[in-house]
Amino acid sequence: MVFRFPKSLDPITLFHSPSSPASNTAYKILKSASAAASAADTPVGRGEFQLEVTTAPPTTDQLRNILEYVTGDPSGAGKEGGARYPVSEIIQGAKNAEEAVKRFKEDSGRFMRPVTVDWTNGQAVVGDDESQILKMVRQAEGN
C-alpha cells in the first residue's frame, strides 16, 4: 500500500482594505473563483486554491517578492506574462523598488490595497481588474 500526502492547495493572498470599494470587488471575484474551482468536476485539487485574506500589510520580505512579481525584475522571480505595474501603484510615492522598501519601513500605510498575490506562481495583481485576477487564478489551476 502506497501512502501519499494530499496535494496542498496553492495559497493566494488578498491584501485587503474593507473600506475600499476596489478591495471589496477583488474579494468578491476571488470568493466566486474559489467556490467555482472547489465545485468544478475535475480531479481532486485541480483548480482549487487556498484564499487567504488579510488586512495586515505584508512583511518586508513579502513586499520585496511582490515588487519582483509586478515589475518583471530580471531575477526571474515573476512568471512571464504576469501583470506588470509601476512601483508607485504598490507603495505610494515610490519611484523604484529600493525606495519602495524604504518608504514601507517608514510607514506601512503607504502600501496600496488591494493586491492579490499568487505566491506559488510568482504573480500579483494590483486593484480589482477582474480579467487579470481570473487570468492569474486560472493559471494556478494548471499546477
Which CATH number fits the domain that encloses residue 36? 3.40.30.10
- Residue 2 belongs to a domain: no
pLDDT, residue 9, reads 83
What is the C-alpha separation between 121 and 139, in angstroms, rounded? 8
Query: Count of domains in the chain?
Result: 1
For each successive 10 residues of the chain (143 residues), what is the average pLDDT?
Answer: 71 97 97 81 59 97 95 56 88 94 97 96 94 86 51
Residue 92: give the domain boundaries.
Answer: 11-139
- Residue 58 belongs to a domain: yes
pLDDT, residue 74, reads 47
46: left (phi over 0), alpha (psi -120 to 50) or beta: beta
pLDDT, residue 139, reads 76
- Residue 4 belongs to a domain: no
- Residue 50 belongs to a domain: yes
- Residue 1 belongs to a domain: no
Alpha helices in 1-143 (DSSP H): 21-39, 60-71, 97-106, 130-141
- Residue 75 belongs to a domain: yes
pLDDT, residue 76, reads 40
What is the C-alpha separation between 61 and 30, in angstroms, rounded? 24
pLDDT, residue 78, reads 47
What is the C-alpha separation between 13 and 58, in angstroms, rounded? 10
Q: Is the pTM of this model over 0.95?
A: no
- Residue 18 belongs to a domain: yes
- Residue 5 belongs to a domain: no
- Enter the C-alpha cell of residue 91: 507603495
